[in-house]
Amino acid sequence: MDHIALKYGINPNQKRATLSIEAGALPLTVLNGRAGYINILDALLGWQLVSELKAATTLASAASFKHASPAGSAVAVDLNSAERAMFFIDDDYPLSEQATAFVRARGADRLSSFGDFIALSDRCDESTARLIAAEVSDGIIAPAYDPSALAVLKKKRKGSYLILQIDPSFVPPSLEQRSLFGMTLTQERNGIVLDERVLTPIVTRNRELGDSAKLDLLVALNTLKYTQSNSVCYAKRGQAIGVGAGQQSRIHCTRLAGEKADLFHLRQSERILTLPFKEDLSRNAKDNAIDLYLRAELHDQSDVFTTPTAPLTDEEVRHILKGVDGVSLASDAFFPFRDNIDRAHKSGVRYIVQAGGSVRDEEVIAACDEYDMVMICNKIRLFLH
C-alpha cells in the first residue's frame, strides 16, 4: 500500500498519522517540506475545488483553504486599479492568469487566509510564486511548477515550506469511505458537475442573467461544494468575497458571509486605499489595522499611521455600501425564511442560486421579487461534512 507518513494527526498528540491509497500509486508527491494531517485535508479539498472551477469556467483558478473550508476562491478576471491597490499589488507588477486568480483568492478575506494552504488549477509560475513568498502560508498544491517558481518557494519558511504536486489526471473512485470511532461510513462521492447547466430554472419575475453573473454564481457554487456546511457564499467579479461556513443556522451563514462581503467592499473605498500607513509596515500588519479601523476598534494609531485618522462614520459606511450592486449569492441548501433575502439585499445581492424546496419557497421568491432579484432554484444540495 502506497503511503506518506505525516507529522501527526489533527492535533500533535494524535500520532501514527499517514496518507495512503489501497490500489495503485498515490497521485500526490511531496516536493518539499513535511505534510501534516490538516495540510492534506486542505490540499485535497482545495485541489478538487480549483480543478472543478477551472473545468466549469475554463479560467485559471485558485483557492485559499483554512481548516477544511475555503477562506477565498477565484478565477482569473483582470484586476482593476482599485483592486490592485486593495490587494497590495504594484501597478507595474506582471500578473499571469494563475497569479491573477491567486491574488483574488488570497485577497478575499486576508485575515482568514493568514496561514492558509494554497491550491492552484494550473502550473505555478514565478509570477505566482513570488506573490506566495510574501504571504504567511503553510503550503501549496498544484499540478506542476516552473523550476524558477520551485526555487522561490523552497526558500520560504527557512526551507520547510510544504510543496505538493498533484497528478491532474487522477480521478477519485466513485465510492468514498470515512472511519469514525472504529466504524466505517461509505457513500458515493459527490461528483455533481457545477457548470452553466445548473443555473436553471429561474423562478423570479426578473430573469436577466448576464455572463458576469453566471460566472460569479459558478464561483460561489463550486466554492460551496468544498465548504463545511451549513454555508453561504457571496461572489463578485470572479471571486468569492464572503464565505459563511459551518454554521448551524442558515441566517447566521448569510449574516457572516454578508459581513465579510461588506468589509471587502469597504476596503475598496477611497478612504481605505489612501490610509497613511507607515512605510515599514508589513502586509499582515496593514490587514489587521484595516480590519480594526473599519470596526472603529483601532484605538492606538501611532504604530500604524503617520497621522491621526478619524474612523469612518456610520453615514459614510451606509453611503459606500448603498452603492454596491450586482453581487451574486449561493446557498448549499434551501432558504427556510425570507430573512436571508432581506440580509442579502443589504450587501448588494442581485443574483441568487439555491436548492429550493422549502415550505416557504413562495415567501422567499416574493421577497426576491420585491428587491428585483434574479433567483434560481436548481434542486441541488451541496452539504459537506
- What is the rounded distance in angstroms from the CA atom of residue 325 to the CA atom of residue 327? 6
The answer to whether residues 113 and 229 belong to one domain is no
Same domain, 127 and 209: no
Q: Scan for cell 491574488, then name that residue.
A: 103
Helices H, strands E: what count in the chain? 13, 15
Same domain, 182 and 158: no
221 and 154 together in one domain: no
Q: Nearest to residue 84, comparing CAs of 107, 64, 65, 116?
A: 107
Q: Are residues 81 and 37 in the same domain?
A: yes
d(CA 216, CA 235): 5
User: Cis omega before residue 201 (within 30°)?
Assistant: yes
Look at residues 110, 141, 171 and tell me which one is the last residue of a structural domain: 171
Last residue of a domain, one of 171, 196, 219: 171
User: Residue 64 falls within a domain, yes or no?
Assistant: yes
| 271 domain-assigned | no
Indicate whether 228 and 148 sit together in one domain. no
- Sole residue written with cell 481605505: 272
Q: Is residue 333 part of a domain?
A: yes
Instruction: Choose the final residue of a domain: 171, 189, 212.
Output: 171
- Asked whether residue 286 falls in the same domain as residue 305, the answer is yes
Residues 260 and 307 in one domain: no
Using CB atoms within 10 Å of the CB of residue 31, give its burial: 0 to 12 exposed, 13 to 18 middle, 19+ buried.
Answer: middle
Residues 36 and 76 in one domain: yes
- pLDDT means over runs of 10, the chain (385 residues): 89 95 91 97 98 98 96 97 93 95 96 96 97 96 98 96 97 93 96 97 98 98 98 98 96 97 96 93 92 91 92 93 97 97 98 97 98 98 97
Q: Which domain holds residue 248?
A: 176-266+320-377
Flag whether 52 is in a domain.
yes
pLDDT of residue 380: 97
DSSP per-residue string spanning 30-66: EEES---HHHHHHHHHHHHHHHHHHHHHSS-EEEEEE
The answer to whether the CB of 247 falls within 8 A of the CB of 340 is no
**CA proximity to 113, closest of 49, 67, 54, 145:** 67
- Closest of 190, 191, 237, 229 to residue 213, by C-alpha: 237
| 8 Å CB contact between 98 and 121 | yes
Q: What is the pLDDT of residue 1?
A: 59
The number of folded domains in the chain is 3
Domain membership of residue 272 (yes or no) is: no
Cα-based distances in Å from 35 to 9, 18, 157, 161: 10, 10, 14, 10
Same domain, 103 and 238: no
Q: Is residue 55 part of a domain?
A: yes
In a domain, 385, yes or no: no
What CATH number is associated with residue 254? 3.40.140.20
Would you say residue 39 lies in a domain?
Answer: yes
Which residues are annotated as catalytic?
Answer: 66-67, 230, 385
CB of 236 closer than 8 Å to CB of 328: yes
**If you compute the radius of gyration of the chain from its CA atoms, what whole number of angstroms results?**
21
Q: Are strands 61-66 and 349-354 parallel, antiparallel or unpaired?
A: unpaired
Question: Do 10 and 78 fall within a single domain?
Answer: yes
| 230 lies in the same domain as 250 | yes
Q: Quick one: which of 133, 325, 313, 316 has its CA closest to 236?
A: 325
